[in-house]
Chain A
């Protein structure tokens, strides 16, 4: 057999390895996954020539849970927990853009306090998700200590998120018009402590993982995506930024409080697994900065319900009492059968693994007419097909881990 050479027409996209090698007759086909520690919830069918992968075919869909279809039968607000299940370790980031799309159709803007609260939780989630990615990345290369350490420190962020929202992972926090809870009393203090802890701790991560010669040699020059190829393939998030693409949804179309806080978007130009790890590493530092700013802002400003007046002013006195006592924003029963005016909106937000895009179309009913989700992992999946060929079998987990692929998110 011969491997089909992609992209000779019309496109000057050339990928080394897959094209350069002449393929022998007897290729060895290896099915990696789904019950395989190096694959998670997906299968990659690779063909190897010796130790070199000549063809990789990602077989996705093992976690396809039909979210786009289910959303068409459910009321608008019920879809928030539904879409959250795409990436439960990054819950706020994946749902916030859906909520923003709803708000755009409704024509409302959440109050500043709600925007800051969402930003705060988004950044907490971003750190937790990056640490999750680091942990999986580490254990894919056999570094179990990196896995354990990043999961240990992820618990700090999970604990903060739990204090804020009342759930470890599935916060269901943003809702159209605002957020569901306000800051607990001792939160700012704890958040600042956590920020200081992380600043010190990240240095140790660098020592044991990023600058560890063994791990460095595994990551350097592996899975290189040049800038042009990255743009052509449409990869997102840290994968794109490690290839020199200066794109971040928070920059391109600032949502929530991102146009008010100060932060940097780290960009590297090497495009290999090491650069992707460093992007995530630097992003954690920037997220810590944002958390500090958000907490400062929230502490400085007066405590009030983080909810749009449309949904809050007409609410009964019990609502205000509960908010005063517990910081919990109660929902009006009309939320369940919220009717959106006809229209269509698109919104994007930057999750830990990249940009998520929602296309929402309403035909004036209580349920969406169509919701289209393109999640970062779904867009990064193409890396397996075009970047993996040409590298060694042992590089596959490295590339997998470095693009931080999360199958439930890709399959939706």
Chain B
């Protein structure tokens, strides 16, 4: 099975839900509407993609959206294990909410908590929506959003060395 065939199979399984398929190096992303994401993810799981490798969120402040992608793959089907298929949707930046996929893929529970604290995307229906890694005060700042800037030092030093 090659990538084209896989795409065909996914399009068949997902039916009209697919908005577009983006191809990256080493993975493909299936983009759906935010409202359909639970349905699409369930169908993808029935296809054999039984676990999520990465819940990837990318912030596009210019386009005022977050791209949320669940990169899934398969453990039990050795043929599908070679591919990483992402199911993604765009979440508006000013009211970041989306339905949780915990009940589709149990493994994303902690990753959704992580996204919640780093980007502020709230997953409705998540059983335990708390910050995971950060202290509560820092989680308020949503550090992985692009407007949170971490300064790098310039290569020329002003302060003289002390030793």
Contacts and interface: CB of A to CB of B under 8 A. Distances in A.
Nearest to B143: A69
B71 A357 contact: yes
B123 to A, nearest CB: 15
A245 B106 contact: no
> Which residue, of B51, B75, B133, B148, has the highest number of chain A Cβ atoms within 10 A?
B75
Contact of A232 (B26, B51, B56, B71): B51
B87 to A, nearest CB: 14
B25 A105 contact: yes
A355 B53 contact: yes
A393 B141 CA distance: 37
Interface in B43-72: 50-59, 71
B3 to A, nearest CB: 13
B51 A231 contact: yes
A230 B76 CA distance: 10
Interface of A: 4, 6-7, 9-11, 13, 60-61, 64, 66, 68-70, 72-74, 101, 104-105, 227, 230-235, 240, 245-247, 251-253, 343-348, 355, 357, 359, 361, 369-370, 372, 374, 378-379, 381-382, 385-386, 411
A355 B54 CA distance: 11
B106 A10 contact: no
A359 B82 contact: no
Interface residues of B, number: 46
> Which residue, of A247, A346, A386, has the highest number of chain B Cβ atoms within 10 A?
A346
Contact of A104 (B25, B103, B107, B135): B25
Contacts of B109: 382, 385
Contacts of B163: none
B152 A74 contact: yes
Nearest to A64: B133
A359 B24 CA distance: 10
Interface string B107-140: 1111100000010000000011001111100000
A246 B78 contact: yes
Contact of B27 (A61, A247, A346, A382): A346
B26 A347 contact: yes
B104 interface: yes
Contacts of B78: 246-247, 252
Contacts of B132: 60-61
Nearest to B81: A252
B26 A382 contact: no
Contacts of A105: 25
Given A11-B106, A61-B134, A345 B53 contact: no
A386 B108 CA distance: 13
A105 B24 CA distance: 9
Interface string B8-31: 000000000000000011110000
13 contacts: A61-B131, A69-B150, A73-B152, A105-B25, A234-B107, A252-B73, A345-B25, A346-B27, A348-B53, A370-B58, A374-B111, A378-B110, A382-B109
B93 to A, nearest CB: 15
B110 A382 contact: yes
A359 B54 contact: yes
B51 A344 contact: no
B27 A10 contact: no
A411 B78 CA distance: 30
A379 B103 CA distance: 17
